[in-house]
Amino acid sequence: MDGVTKDYITIQYAGTDKLYIPVTQLDMVSKYIGPRDDSGVKLNKLSSGEWQKTRSNVKRAVKDMAHELIALYAKREKSVGFAFYPDDEIQHDFEERFPYVETDDQLQSIAEIKADMERARPMERLLCGDVGFGKTEVALRAAMKCVLSGKQCAILAPTTVLAFQHYQTALRRFEHFPVNIELLSRYRSPKQQDEIVKKLKQGRIDLIIGTHKIIQKSVVFKDLGLAIIDEEQRFGVAHKERFKESFTGVDVLMLSATPIPRTLNMAMSGIRDMSVLEEPPQDRYPVQTYVIEYNMGTVIQAIVRELRRGGQVYYIHNRVETIRACASRLQEFLPEARIAVAHGQMSEDEMSDIWEQLVEHEVDILVCTTIIETGVDVPNVNTLIIEDSDRFGLSQLYQLRGRVGRSNRRGYAYFTYQRDKVLTEIATKRLNAMREFTQFGSGFRIALRDLEIRGAGSILGGRQHGHMEAVGYDMYLQLLSEAIAEEKGIQPEKVPECLVDIQIDAHIPEKYISSLNQRIDMYRKIMLVNEDSDKTDLIDELIDRYGDPPKSVVGLIEVSLLRNKAAHLGITEISQKNGAMYFYTEYLVPQQISALQQAYKGRITFNGVGKSYVSVKISPKMRPFDMMRETVEIFFTNREKK
């Protein structure tokens, strides 16, 4: 337009309605993220009130939820529990024997949990973190604190194998300390179980680890102080009710491997006590990911390399009816290897035995379906091979890949697809995304999007799931944050907006950033530039990723910085027409008026009727952008100081 290039985003509504948004307003647009991304989403007409109605319904539901949460929190604050003793020499000694360097997140979470335990009200804290990010160590430090205060501690796990794994870890960690540890699960004979229950009642067991058997009516504690519940979302409703009965007045720490996005954490902070581990341990390497056509030679080579370094392999074949044939085929190529098969149609006992063999390294290759998604931590399995990976969802691929590379060894993942198969566009994008996002935590950027929704769902409860779907994840969280603030009596801060539409080359050329997704992502980042330091950081990032930015990109960053500054000065719109620049403003103070008159003698008009504005004739010697900057600077220097 008028010899100037600008980018717009087009939004299509139901019917033929369209809306063009300049990229300088892109921060007002958020992507719909729901359980069924892009499919089955109902569009509304631009002029209908449908969307507002949906939003109001969700707002009401969110308000009820915020009210419930705050009431629950207030009740918990009033209830009386046991105040655990401050840390002593033994606690310090126990923590120093941890063979790894703690991450900052771990230290922060431990401090939060201990502070809760030392208060005279029952703790109810949720500890979230990706698998292998060190939740168990945090939990064991809390258990030690409990035992040193003369109380008993219980650790509950949803499966027998997971309970057994915690038991082994606890024995190793507590071996130099006089702590009596027992395991209560079907790995113990009925006679042993009776003996354990008797000892618990007498107080001769300090730390008990087990499955839901711990909450049976026959199990009585002498003095329970802390209950740690692992993977709480995998217990049934009936079990959760029993927890409430069994653990009243007791400190409760829940562990969850569902990653909790920062946005949800912020929305919930101060209501639900939540600690989040987002940082991977120091000696962890990102998993090396390959996306390739299926080739038996390459697959066997990858397996042999893993077995040679003493490791184990997951081989995913997601069809139960042909899984045994697949295992036999591998056995022909690898006669020495110990191969086992696992799938969802097996009983829990059969699965437990296989997991146990895997943990004890009695199996080299586990040919299985996606059942390993929520399995046990086996740090020795560091190569993953997936057949027909184009049939899997993004978050599923991410979850599966997270099963390897869990020790200080490099993990390898091979996502294969059938030879000569033409992949759909979606499958190609998915596999490319997995190849691209090998860094830690990159899952939060893309692959965890639907996991985030599942995570949010499991924390907020199923009832809220439909509401989240109706307006999308981001908007749902925004409404929840507002409702919580309102319940607490905090007025939500109104973010000022300013629309800028002047003649300046402000766009990202395709030849500078060719990927559309990356361009949109960069537009959003540019629109959030508020300070000079943000501008410097962003230009550094652009140079690192794409080379020196062209003039039009620097122009865009400059416009964004000015636009955000203008918005905070009460300027709602800056536009250019008929040789003049118009500054629409909510208010003007006398010193601004006189400073503007002085600077632009004879070129300035003030209008206070209707939508008030200041218009300045553009000097032919001046670029529109320089004119805009100069005027905003006058507004800023002569603003009313508070």
CATH number of 389's domain:
3.40.50.300
Half-sphere exposure of 590 (CA within 13 A, CB side): 0
Tell which of 439, 464, 480 closes a domain.
439
Are residue 270 and residue 303 in the same domain, yes or no? no
Are residue 255 and residue 152 in the same domain, yes or no? yes
Are residue 101 and residue 168 in the same domain, yes or no? yes
Q: Is 77 exposed, middle or buried (0-12, 13-18, 19+ CB in 10 A)?
A: exposed
Tokens representing 260 are 């909790």
Q: Is residue 304 part of a domain?
A: yes
Are residue 140 and residue 269 in the same domain, yes or no? yes
Q: Is residue 61 part of a domain?
A: no
pLDDT of residue 346: 85
Distance of alpha carbon 176 from alpha carbon 171, whole angstroms: 9
pLDDT of residue 200: 94
Q: Is residue 126 part of a domain?
A: yes
pLDDT of residue 35: 58
Q: Is residue 151 part of a domain?
A: yes
Q: Is residue 28 part of a domain?
A: no
pLDDT of residue 445: 45
Phi then psi dihedrals of residue 504, to 5 deg: -150, 140
Tokens representing 74 are 């207030």
Tell which of 250, 277, 304 closes a domain.
277
Are residue 248 and residue 103 in the same domain, yes or no? yes
pLDDT of residue 444: 36
Element (H, E) at 527: helix 516-527
The CATH number of the domain holding residue 518 is 3.90.1150.50
One-letter identity of residue 372: I
Torsion of CA 440, 445, 450, 453, to 10 degrees: 100
Are residue 356 and residue 428 in the same domain, yes or no? yes
Are residue 108 and residue 250 in the same domain, yes or no? yes
One-letter identity of residue 469: E
The string of DSSP letters for 560-593 reads HHHHHHHHTTTEEEEEEETTEEEEEES---HHHH
pTM above 0.75, yes or no: no
> Closest by alpha carbon to 315, among 363, 279, 262?
363
pLDDT of residue 452: 55
Distance of alpha carbon 596 from alpha carbon 579, whole angstroms: 18
Are residue 262 and residue 317 in the same domain, yes or no? no
Mean pLDDT by 10 residues, the chain (642 residues): 80 90 78 61 86 90 83 78 94 93 92 94 84 86 96 91 88 94 89 94 96 88 93 72 79 78 60 77 78 91 95 94 95 95 85 87 94 75 92 75 82 87 72 60 43 57 68 79 81 78 83 83 84 89 90 88 88 88 88 89 85 88 87 88 63
Q: Is residue 367 part of a domain?
A: yes
pLDDT of residue 270: 63
Distance of alpha carbon 226 from alpha carbon 514, whole angstroms: 55
Cα 568–571–575 angle (5° rounding)? 135
Q: Is residue 459 part of a domain?
A: no
Tell which of 439, 459, 487 closes a domain.
439
One-letter identity of residue 631: T
Tokens representing 343 are 């799938």
Phi then psi dihedrals of residue 21, to 5 deg: -115, 125
pLDDT of residue 164: 86
Range of the domain at 231: 89-277
Are residue 527 and residue 569 in the same domain, yes or no? yes
Are residue 526 and residue 387 in the same domain, yes or no? no
Q: How many helices (H) and strands (E) does the chain have?
A: 21, 20
Half-sphere exposure of 482 (CA within 13 A, CB side): 15
Distance of alpha carbon 262 from alpha carbon 477, whole angstroms: 11
Phi then psi dihedrals of residue 415, to 5 deg: -95, 110
Q: Is residue 82 part of a domain?
A: no
**How many distinct structural domains can be found in the chain?**
3
Task: Give the count of beta carbons closer than 10 Å to the beta carbon of residue 465.
Answer: 18
Are residue 309 and residue 243 in the same domain, yes or no? no
Are residue 520 and residue 631 in the same domain, yes or no? yes
C-beta of residue 483 within 8 angstroms of C-beta of residue 290: no
